[in-house]
Chains A and B, each alone.
Chain A
Amino acid sequence: MIKMCDVPRYAGPDAAELEKMKKAHVLLNKVEYERTPLKHGYTDKLLTVDVTDKSVKISDIPAEVKEKFVGGKGYCLRYLWDATTPETRWDSPENEIVMSAGPIAGITQYGGTGKMLVCTISPMTDIPIDSNVGGFFGPYLKFAGFDAIELRGKSDKDVIVVIDGNKGTISIEEAPLEHLDSHLMGEELTAMYADDENDRKNVAVVCTGSAAEHANLSMLNFTFYDPRRNVVRLKQAGRGGIGRVFRDKGIKALVCKWQGVKANLNDAYDFGILNKVGLKFHREVANLDEKQNFMRSTGTAYSLRTLADYDIVPTRNYKFGDAPGIDNMTAEVFRKDWLTQGGADGCWYGCSMACAKTADHFLLKTGPYKGQRVCVDGPEYESAAGLGPNCGITDPQAVLELNFYCDTYGIDTISYGTMTAFLMECYENGILNEERTGGLKLEWGNSEASLEMLHQMARYEGFGKIAALGSHKQKEYFAAQGWGDMDFMNDIAMEQKGLEYSEYGSKESLAQQGGYGLTNKGPQHDEAWLIFMDQVNNQIPTFEDKAEALYYYPMFRTWFGLMGLCKLPWNDIVPADNSTTDEPAKVPEHVANYLDLYYGVTGVRLTNDEMIRQSERVYNFQRIFDIRLGKGLRKNDAVPYRSVGPVTEEEYLSRQERYDGQLVDLVGYTEEQVKAMSLAEKMAATRKFREDRYQSLIDAVYPKRGWTLNGVPTVAHLKELGMDLPELLEVVEPLQDLQP
């Protein structure tokens, strides 16, 4: 194990500079409150901060909200709905950022139990985005007495909101001098609000970065202090531009302080069952991780090699699925040359899976911090694949540098990777050129150009202003300039509903095509990450299996977001006898663990069906929220053809044997007919077959979800769920008979 305790701090702020920053704070409002301790996982309190008038309000969360929306993402969406109208857009003052951790969050005995859910109306999609993030803020906010926080309004000055759970104070402070970039601000505010070195672990910060001033694809960083590396680590609420909304509100950071994390702050109904299930989980990880997938030693990037073997790692804007040069980025390479392990690699207490790795003492070669040594969180699989092979880059140094700058600037690595891949393909096709990019040679594999574009985005200058738009708006801009054909760009820009795809090539996985396309927030894999069970493990072989999976898994996985849980401990390490169970893909023993945890915390014993039902209520609510804001119908679930099949001749020819074979095996042509067809005819036949199959999938999935063929939840289904709320019926009733 690498002992990091003795190494000097990387980004430790100078004491004099810190004092100066602190002195520059102006207290704008401070309220004292009596902390409500948790009872069976809940405080039943909502904290509302309006940064326009700097007001703070604490209110009760009604029993009916708790019953139908449970917590976490459910609470976020409920309060976001109540605060907004059908006309609200991302930069409307009434748009809120709502955060809630969920009832199980904050227990310390089981892996992945410290998650916070964050929702807002997104600048990228104009509908609600939800993001699930680690770090300490979520649990600390609960311990401080709040199940949820909503941030509304717009401040005319840069402010921070500081919640001290032990003292029972909430203050809004003008904070002009702290750096915007997260690796600095995280350290500065942690040091400023900690009593001493040992107290740093008790401070949690939420912040973004300098790029969030202008870039739509901006995220929020949630910190946790790593006592072994003496450094503030960053986890991201990455998707959908929440960082942009945060800065648009004039919020620079949130700070929550809680001294005294103990094992039962949730006041569990049955503490013993949490210990029992948690200990079973830790023993499983201890015994099986090195037999299964090395999450403790490698983290999620372990899967690059495996996914490349199955033709899934997105390469050159998802044209291909196996990257030449991927061997430069295997788990072995990262382990040996770049990442350290054995530190505090769980992003909340008790995560023995510990998948969050860092590159320590990483020497930056570009940008404003060139020449400095920093701690880089990651890369996670998504960051590695998106910033790397998807842009033709397989140099770990470049991927780590991109990862660091995305994080500290407040940029979502997934959107940045996928968008850059699109821009590179535009460059390859003459839609962009050196003149149009202001000198950036966005050629495949040009990591220097990718880094320079990222720096320009943070400075909001040059082509960085275009990059800051995200793929969806870039298409419109390029077409308006007369630079490119919109149909072609629609085929190759891997975005849907305005959100860039995450990093799985889905051409050979119909289930994952639906897993991306039939999502509420846009193509992020957290809702239906089916590619492994479909394409790697072949656990859902038939069309019916895939359609059923697109009902069950989005609902099951939504439940993690209601509870404040991470999904990785569910199926990254599985019990030794999992393959002998009736439904190994569902990991039945772990589902039982989660029901035990819910019972242990809340005292309510759920069946498997009731668990799914809890999710369905919130899932359908989110769908109707989308419809209320102008998306959420079948037409909005259309996907770019690049996610379904080969757009270009180059792609078809690279897997000609496969595609020719499918024309025979799946489409019904004879071998002789295929031989006689031109390439264009074969591509057209392939496209028709694959696009029709996607539509058939929708026809099969929507009814399972209780929706019309236009994607609208039916009134009958809402009644069955107990979600026939007047405000929902008002949206869906007029659309019940509307044909797609």
Chain B
Amino acid sequence: MRRLEKDESLCIGCHQCELACSKAFFKVEDPALACLRVEDREDGTHAIHICNQCGKCAEVCNTCVITQAKTGVYMINKKECAGCLMCVGFCPEQVMVQSDDREEPSKCTACGICVKACPTGAIRLVTD
């Protein structure tokens, strides 16, 4: 399975990963439109929330439009998606993206753009 892995101890809170993700898929640099989240804790450390391809989104989808590809990555069939947003609401990591200018949500495809943007190696792309 191809998926993201994280090491929060390396995160410096630069949010470059979020900006790169949203830039790639929404053409704007907006952390709210990124399929991962970096949360700045009060103690100066950072929590990284990434999609671990757990499949909860596919489980709650009534219409079976989220399916697991051969790579292990869960993909949304946007043509068939009715935009009900249950997957977004039920995502345990809260890293699926809903944007009012699109009718369907987005999720992490483990493309690695965030990994390339991360200056410290806090996010890695692994294949199990």
Contact = CB atoms under 8 A, between A and B. Distances in A.
Contacts of B85: 108-109, 275, 278-279, 282, 350
A83 to B, nearest CB: 35
18 contacts: A1-B59, A108-B85, A109-B85, A201-B63, A227-B63, A228-B62, A262-B82, A263-B83, A272-B100, A275-B85, A275-B100, A282-B85, A282-B89, A285-B89, A346-B62, A349-B84, A350-B84, A352-B60
B100 A271 contact: yes
The 5 A-B pairs with the shortest beta carbon distances in the complex, nearest first, are: A282-B89, A263-B83, A350-B84, A272-B100, A263-B103
Interface in A178-211: 201
Contacts of A201: 63
Interface string A334-364: 0000000010111001111010000000000
A717 B82 CA distance: 44
A264 B83 CA distance: 8
Interface in B81-127: 82-86, 88-90, 98, 100, 103-104
Contacts of B86: 282, 350, 352
Nearest to A224: B62
A228 B64 CA distance: 7
Interface of A: 1, 5, 108-109, 201, 227-228, 261-264, 271-272, 275, 278-279, 281-283, 285-286, 342, 344-346, 349-352, 354
A203 B98 CA distance: 28
Contacts of A227: 62-64
B63 A263 contact: no
B112 to A, nearest CB: 28
Nearest to A285: B89
Interface in B45-100: 59-60, 62-64, 82-86, 88-90, 98, 100
A92 to B, nearest CB: 40
A260 to B, nearest CB: 9
A446 B86 CA distance: 43
A264 B62 CA distance: 18
Contacts of A281: 89
A352 B89 contact: yes
B24 to A, nearest CB: 22
Nearest to A109: B85
Contacts of B88: 279, 282
Nearest to B92: A286
Given A271-B100, A272-B100, A283 B89 contact: yes
Contacts of A262: 82-83, 103
A85 B87 CA distance: 50
A349 B63 contact: yes
B82 A350 contact: yes
A278 B104 CA distance: 13
**Contact residues on B (Cβ < 8 Å of other chain), bracket:** 10 to 19
B83 A109 contact: yes
Given A1-B59, A201-B63, A349-B82, 4 more contacts: A108-B82, A264-B83, A283-B89, A285-B89
B100 A5 contact: no
Contacts of A282: 85-86, 88-90
Contacts of B84: 108-109, 263, 278, 349-350
Query: Which secondary structure characterizes the binding site on chain B?
Result: loop
A352 B100 CA distance: 20
Contacts of A1: 59
B64 A286 contact: no
B89 A279 contact: yes
Nearest to A198: B80
A269 B17 CA distance: 34
Nearest to B64: A227
Given A261-B82, A282-B86, A349 B62 contact: yes
Contacts of A346: 62
A283 B91 CA distance: 9
Q: Among the interface residues B63, B64, B85, which one has the most CB atoms of the partner chain A within 10 A?
A: B85
Q: Among the interface residues B60, B63, B83, B103, which one has the most CB atoms of the partner chain A within 10 A?
A: B83
Nearest to B89: A282
A108 B89 CA distance: 13
Contacts of B63: 201, 227, 344, 349
Contacts of B90: 282, 286, 352
A275 B98 contact: yes
Nearest to B104: A263
A279 B97 CA distance: 11
A344 B62 contact: yes
B59 A342 contact: yes
Contacts of B60: 352
Contacts of B62: 227-228, 344-346, 349, 351, 354
Nearest to B99: A275
B5 to A, nearest CB: 25
Nearest to B61: A344
A272 B104 CA distance: 13
A206 to B, nearest CB: 21
A287 to B, nearest CB: 9
Contacts of A261: 82
A321 B94 CA distance: 44
B73 to A, nearest CB: 19
A261 B79 CA distance: 10
Contacts of A344: 62-63
A283 B60 CA distance: 12
A346 B85 CA distance: 13
Q: Among the interface residues B62, B83, B98, which one has the most CB atoms of the partner chain A within 10 A?
A: B62
A243 to B, nearest CB: 27
Contacts of B83: 108-109, 262-264
A286 B59 CA distance: 13
B79 to A, nearest CB: 9
A38 to B, nearest CB: 14
A592 B60 CA distance: 26
A201 B62 CA distance: 11
Q: Among the interface residues A275, A283, A346, which one has the most CB atoms of the partner chain B within 10 A?
A: A275
A382 to B, nearest CB: 23
Contacts of A272: 100
A381 B100 CA distance: 38
A270 to B, nearest CB: 9
A311 B62 CA distance: 37
B89 to A, nearest CB: 2
A286 B90 CA distance: 6
A262 B85 CA distance: 12
A279 B98 contact: yes
Contacts of A228: 62, 64
Nearest to A270: B100
Given A282-B89, A285-B89, A352-B60, A264 B103 contact: yes
A344 B88 CA distance: 17
Contacts of B103: 262-264
B66 to A, nearest CB: 12
Contacts of A352: 60, 86, 89-90
Nearest to A280: B89
